[in-house]
Amino acid sequence: MGREIQLDSALGRHIDNEQSAEITMWEASQYRDLERRFGGVVEPRTEPSPRYNCHGLTFASRRTGISSPVSVRQALHEDGYTEVSKMDVLPGDIILYFDDRGDVEHSGVVVEPPARDPLGIPLVYSKWGKYKELIHRANQCPYNFATARYYRLHGS
């Protein structure tokens, strides 16, 4: 199994996490450009890394992966995030993608807010599982954008 590191929320409570050790051999040439099937505005930021996932980028500074929806909600709540309406989104806000059961299946960071796009689709960067970090339109990815919501840390 992967390694868990010490990761606490802003309230000092442990958040379950794991640095995946499943993959020990990357054959990079076989997995190049998997993102191309999702449209044109998809730009890689990094090479693949199994150490962290989308929630590890959003809530743990890329140090580790967070794969439990319960832990994501814990971080969201205990770090003090509050929901922001789509038209009030600013760069740096986070975006959460929910599945049809209400669990968070993906998260990322807003680069360009919906209000600046003619179709209201924000530009975000996010980590696609163990794959790369990518800059993409929020609907051009393998996750359910239809129920995406936005959150901000307003500060104390």
Applying the rule CB under 8 A, the residues between 19 and 38 that interact with another protein are 20-27, 30-31, 34
Q: Which residues contact 36 (CB under 8 A, 6 or more apart)?
A: 42
Distances (CA, A) of 133 to 3, 54, 127: 21, 8, 4
Nearest distance from residue 155's CB to another protein, in Å?
27
Using CB under 8 A, pick the residue from 81, 131, 150, 151 that binds another protein: 131
Question: Alpha-carbon distance 138 to 57, whole Å?
Answer: 16
Q: Where does residue 102 fall: left (phi above 0), alpha (psi -120 to 50 degrees), or beta otherwise?
A: left
Separation of alpha carbons 143 and 121, rounded Å: 14
Q: Per rule CB under 8 A, is residue 53 in the interface with another protein?
A: yes
The residue range among 39-47, 75-83, 104-112, 117-125 that interacts with another protein, by the rule CB under 8 A, is 104-112
Residue closer to another protein, measured from CB, 69 or 80: 69
Q: Is position 67 an interface residue for another protein (rule: CB under 8 A)? A: yes
Residues contributing to the site for another protein (CB under 8 A): 1-2, 18, 20-27, 30-31, 34, 48, 53-55, 65, 67-69, 99, 101, 103-107, 127-131, 142
